[in-house]
Amino acid sequence: MSEPILSVRDLRVAFETRRGSLPAIDGVSFDIGRGEILGVVGESGAGKSVTGSAVIGLLDPPGRIVGGEIRLGGERIDTLPPERMRRVRGRRIGMIFQDPLTSLDPLYRVGEQIVETIRTHTDLSARAARTRAIDLLAEVGIPAPERRIDGYPHEFSGGMRQRVVIALALAAEPELIIADEPTTALDVSVQAQVITLLKRLCREHGTAVMLVTHDMGVIAEAADRVAVMYSGRIAEIGPVEAVVRNPRHPYAVGLMGAIPTLTQGSGRLAQIPGAMPRLTAIPPGCAFHPRCPKVFGRCRVDRPEPIRTDAAPARTGSDPASSSPSAVACHLYDPDAADRPAPAGGEPPVAFHAEPLQVR
């Protein structure tokens, strides 16, 4: 098995506040292999963006890493001094954020910004860097790049700006790209273009991508594997096909049922009662238990650890999915749990019922 590009083990991030230390990320582990796109989904407050910020070392205070480790190509990066981490960012980890306008300086031509990035991280001459910048713009699909390179960000449309940001992220040929909601600010037709571009670049350069988004449709189309986050923990992780078609964790089951799709008719959507708990009031045991239809005694006291669910864990080869197994953090799948309500098999044991409106 080849070494994963990014390896996160038992990552814990806390926000120190006057009311104590709030656990935003609580024991998150995952790997991303070469050329692999890992989708990280969850609702607002699940901790998906914080995970991305922790990996690139840009946690906003008062947030800080309080445990676990992050390795990039085998080298530990969460303990690097800020000055060394600054050289890793941009050079070895590229970043794409939601709003392309805030990632670009409105006062500089886009070419100057790309050339600056290239020259900061490589020893190319100014002339060679400019040629490389034009190549990059061409690669991300900007028409007439030799002319557009001298344009200012406001002269580009939203989709074209996001392409420029992707070119910036690729400038130093990083091993890993963190893309935080890269298509959320774009219209659907442009969003499709950006997803296709991201997938092609990832394949051609062998870049590992951590794709953070709330849009399950984007994940289904772009990602190889997906991690579903809830209350700062990974509820379920596995190949995208398995998690979308046959989710195991009751939260993932509810989430998939709640998403309206184009193919299904217009019946009622499954709904999960309630909302995600606030950081100040994460319930004991499984954080999902107050909303879970399959809750049993142990869920209220015992925090579930990730349980491997793939049949052949020792698979080897070039398959990127094998670098990390599927896992689900739910007591329903623990073979040792004697009092669980239903046997855990391949089938999701949970059915969400669409309850009719209560008339009182």
Partner 1 sequence: MSAAAPYVEVDGLRRVFDVSKPWLNRMIERAPRQTLKAVDGVAFSIARGETFALVGESGSGKSTVARMVVGLLPPSGGEVRITGISMTDPRQAAARRRLRARIQMIFQDPYASMNPRWRVGAIVAEPIRAFDLIQGEAAIRARVGALLELVGLHPDDARKYPHAFSGGQRQRIAIARALASEAEFLVGDEPTSALDVSVQAQILNLMRDLQDRLGLTYLFISHNLAVVRHMATRVGVMYLGRLVEVGGGREIFVQPRHPYTRMLLDAVPDLAHIGRSRVPVAGEIPNPIDPPPGCTFNPRCPLANARCRSEVPELRNGVACHAAEEGRLPA
Task: Specify the amino acid at residue 49.
Answer: S
The residue among 44 and 316 lying less far from partner 1, judged by its C-beta, is: 44
Residue 139 beta carbon to partner 1: minimum distance, rounded to whole angstroms: 16
CA distance linking residue 138 with residue 197, whole number of Å: 12
The residue among 146 and 241 lying less far from partner 1, judged by its C-beta, is: 241
CA distance linking residue 350 with residue 333, whole number of Å: 12
Residue 75 beta carbon to partner 1: minimum distance, rounded to whole angstroms: 31
**What angle in degrees, to the nearest 10, is found between the helix axes of 126-139 and 110-121?**
120
- Cβ atoms of 214 and 41 within 8 Å: the answer is yes
Q: Among all chains, which residue has been given the structure tokens 């809750």? A: 295
- Cβ atoms of 194 and 167 within 8 Å: the answer is no
Residue 253 beta carbon to partner 1: minimum distance, rounded to whole angstroms: 11
Q: How far is CA 262 from CA 28, 144, 194, 226, in A?
A: 33, 36, 21, 21
Residue 54 beta carbon to partner 1: minimum distance, rounded to whole angstroms: 22
Binding site for partner 1 (CB under 8 A): 43-44, 157-160, 187-193, 195-196, 199, 214-218, 220-222, 224, 240-241, 244-245, 254-263, 265-266, 268-273, 275-276, 354, 356-358, 360
Residue 193 beta carbon to partner 1: minimum distance, rounded to whole angstroms: 5
The residue among 55 and 202 lying less far from partner 1, judged by its C-beta, is: 202
The residue among 215 and 302 lying less far from partner 1, judged by its C-beta, is: 215
Token representation of residue 121: 């991280």
Residue 136 beta carbon to partner 1: minimum distance, rounded to whole angstroms: 19
The residue among 174 and 257 lying less far from partner 1, judged by its C-beta, is: 257
Strand locations in the chain (E)? 6-17, 20-32, 37-41, 63-72, 75-76, 93-96, 176-180, 208-212, 225-230, 233-239, 307-308, 327-328
CA distance linking residue 108 with residue 153, whole number of Å: 8
The residue among 40 and 216 lying less far from partner 1, judged by its C-beta, is: 216
The residue among 117 and 322 lying less far from partner 1, judged by its C-beta, is: 322
Count Cα atoms within 13 angstroms, Cβ side, for 5: 22
Residue 225 beta carbon to partner 1: minimum distance, rounded to whole angstroms: 11
> Phi and psi at residue 123, in whole multiples of 5°?
-105, 35
The residue among 119 and 294 lying less far from partner 1, judged by its C-beta, is: 294
Q: Residue 296 contacts by C-beta under 8 Å, 6 or more apart in sequence? A: 331, 339, 340, 341
Residue 260 beta carbon to partner 1: minimum distance, rounded to whole angstroms: 4
